[in-house]
Structure 1
Amino acid sequence: MTFGRALLIAAMLCASTSQAQSVAFTFDDGPGLETTPLLSPQQRNQALLDALAVHHAQAALFVTCGFGADKPEGYALARAWGQAGHALGNHTMTHPDLNSAQLSLAQYRQEVQDCDRITSTLPGYRKWFRYTFLREGNTPEKRDGMRAFLKQSGYRNGYVSLDTSDWRLDQKLNEVLRADPKADIAPIRQAYLSHVRQRAIAYRDLSRKLEGRDIPQVMLMHHNLINALWLKDVIQLFVDMGWTITTPAQAFADPVYQLQPERPAPGQSLLLSIARTRGMGKFEGWERVVDDGDFEINALDAAAGALAPRSKDSLKN
């Protein structure tokens, strides 16, 4: 081994050690102005900011401008993120799907430009773009065209390595509360925390298989009710697991986020894309990573069914 190669390996090991088991928090689709149970849009936004502040965590919000930031009240919510020291990126204007045959590359580019006219005026603005649904196009022309557009425009791909299905559990939470505003939602909280822990361990293990080290994970969450209620608990979960909290900018500085793997399946984390590009195939625990929260939702439904009152007819059997 040459002296130069020895120095390179030592530097990589040092970087790996300093970044071992770290996570950066990023949020998509906000700020939204829709009505949800329990909290107003302003309360949801403030709850997220408060939870991050408690843990001194600097995060990133990928703004879907048409969800609220294009209106004065929603713009104020987005501005609060920048004023609190968080980064703001671009998540298109109306959240269209680049994999849709009805959407052209030109239309998707326009979505980015329209959103940029708003996000570029906000404190904390960064030229980071995150694909909607994590989908980079249903044709090579779309994929390569968007990559060229982002490069020419000076945008970084706001990759996700640690993907969660918080959106699915958030749907369940809203469904339960709309049916019964006084419902016991503790089981949903527990299911959510368990889900996050399972995904975190799965993607940490996958990074070790693929890269031979712990990478700084970039976690995908959403600007929604479930995180407004329990983000503080989610962050504490990582602290209790021994993970360190890093910033999105620090995480994106890792060389793994410079890769551009092909995405043969729609909506994937960067690590899953790398695994499939390298022909890794299915691995232990694969089904729990790609199930969109089915495991937790099915368990919640089963528990609710077991606790539901039984009719007189059913008691006869």
Structure 2
Amino acid sequence: MRHASRAVLALLALLPHLADAEKVAITFDDLPVNGSLPAGVTEADIVRRVLPIFAERGLPPMVGFINARKLEGNPAGAEALQLWMAGGQRVGNHTYGHIDLTTNSPEAFQREIDQNEPALLLLAADTQWRWFRYPYLHEGDTTEKRRAVRDYLQRRNYTIAQTTLDYEDYLWNSAYARCVDKKDDKAVAWLRSSYIETASAYLDANREMARIVFGREISHVLLLHLGAFSPEILPSLFDLLRAKGFEPATLEEAQSDAAYRSDPDYVSTNTGTLLEQHMDAKKLQYPRIPPKARKELAAICM
């Protein structure tokens, strides 16, 4: 009986940790794909390869934010989006041509939002794609610009898809495509290891930022970019998320956290994630984060 009591106590000691599992909504920007692809590979091929990975992991539907300009004269891009929807995934608005609010007027930016909607309507019912993500996460370099676009989005019944977990994964997509074309297996192995090392460090740092800003664990939104490297690296990334205690969730579930009702009202030419905006607005000290291998990724397999 004494041993049974000890076992119960040990189990109870684990319960707070289990209850505190952080939800994470996984999202993808720049659909149909980001970056260049290996020779002979199409956007539709990428989607065909990632959908079974999602299904195998039992992941909830994920929102992919589209830029419809990429569909011009590109049947494979249109096919990729059709496959994405047929595979149970969702879409959101990322502007027609991925324009930067920092260098454009609110009116020009709003026109880009509107111009993206016909493609969205072909893919899903109106109420199913009213999520918006700012290209480059740039929400405005002036207070007037920031508030004008936010007011417009609200009038158009959009919800802003925020980001709290980001490590610029897109840096690996074109690098991987080049290395595949050159059949450089050693370089591909380095891309795998550098990606996971970077993701791990930034996931930890971003969680620490959430604790600094909000004083607690929050539900998170992870920003990824669907591209050439996705079928290769996503299984390892999903293993990493699970090992770190993240629980996959829909975007609605993640953003039901009160943290997403906060607005730092921060303006900059490079506003960044929701957490970065809060950190910068409050002049908080960032946790130590190792630099990304930008130069190496730009130069590899050139």
TM-score, length-scaled by structure 2: 0.84
Query: What amino acid maps onto 2:280 in structure 1?
Result: R
Query: What amino acid maps onto 1:21 in structure 2?
Result: E
Query: What amino acid maps onto 2:276 in structure 1?
Result: L
Match of 2:83 in 1: 80
Q: Is 1:271 the counterpart of 2:275 in the alignment?
A: yes
Q: RCO (CA 8 Å, sep 6+): is it higher in 1 or 2?
A: 2
- CA–CA separation in structure 2 for the residues paired with 1:245 and 1:105: 34
Match of 1:20 in 2: 21
CA change 1:203–1:161 in 2 (3 A) is: same
- CA–CA separation in structure 2 for the residues paired with 1:18 and 1:31: 36
Match of 2:235 in 1: 232
1:186 to 183, 189, 208: 189
Match of 1:133 in 2: 136
- CA–CA separation in structure 2 for the residues paired with 1:284 and 1:130: 26
Query: What amino acid maps onto 2:153 in structure 1?
Result: L
Match of 1:164 in 2: 167
- CA–CA separation in structure 2 for the residues paired with 1:170 and 1:182: 15
**Stretches of structure 2 lacking an aligned partner (at least 5 in a row):** 1-14
Match of 2:157 in 1: 154
Match of 2:38 in 1: 37
Contact 2:28 2:223 in 1 (8 A): yes
Q: Is 1:208 the counterpart of 2:197 in the alignment?
A: no
CA RMSD of aligned residues (A): 2.8
Q: Is 1:256 the counterpart of 2:259 in the alignment?
A: yes
TM-score, length-scaled by structure 1: 0.80
- CA–CA separation in structure 2 for the residues paired with 1:205 and 1:167: 23
Q: Deviations over 1:174-231 (max 9, x none)?
A: 34344x2344211111110111111111111111121122111100010111113211
CA change 1:298–1:110 in 2 (3 A) is: closer
CA change 1:298–1:35 in 2 (3 A) is: closer
Match of 1:308 in 2: none
2:55 to 53, 59, 67: 53
**Stretches of structure 1 lacking an aligned partner (at least 5 in a row):** 1-13, 306-317
- CA–CA separation in structure 2 for the residues paired with 1:266 and 1:300: 22
Q: How many residues are matched?
A: 281
Query: What amino acid maps onto 1:223 in structure 2?
Result: L
Match of 2:246 in 1: 243
- CA–CA separation in structure 1 for the residues paired with 2:231 and 2:100: 26
CA shift at 1:172, angstroms? 2.6
Q: Deviations over 1:62-85 (max 9, x none)?
A: 111111288554233213222322
- CA–CA separation in structure 2 for the residues paired with 1:227 and 1:60: 15
1:222 to 198, 222, 225: 225
Q: Deviations over 1:143-175 (max 9, x none)?
A: 111011001000001111101211112233234
CA shift at 1:137, angstroms? 1.9
CA shift at 1:233, angstroms? 1.4
CA shift at 1:300, angstroms? 7.0
- CA–CA separation in structure 2 for the residues paired with 1:182 and 1:209: 42
CA change 1:122–1:64 in 2 (3 A) is: same
Query: What amino acid maps onto 1:268 in structure 2?
Result: G
Query: What amino acid maps onto 1:250 in structure 2?
Result: E
CA shift at 1:86, angstroms? 2.0
Query: What amino acid maps onto 2:129 in structure 1?
Result: R
Any idea what SS the aligned residue of 2:29 has? Answer: strand
Contact 2:21 2:245 in 1 (8 A): no
CA change 1:198–1:69 in 2 (3 A) is: farther
Query: What amino acid maps onto 2:273 in structure 1?
Result: S
CA change 1:70–1:220 in 2 (3 A) is: farther
- CA–CA separation in structure 2 for the residues paired with 1:171 and 1:73: 18
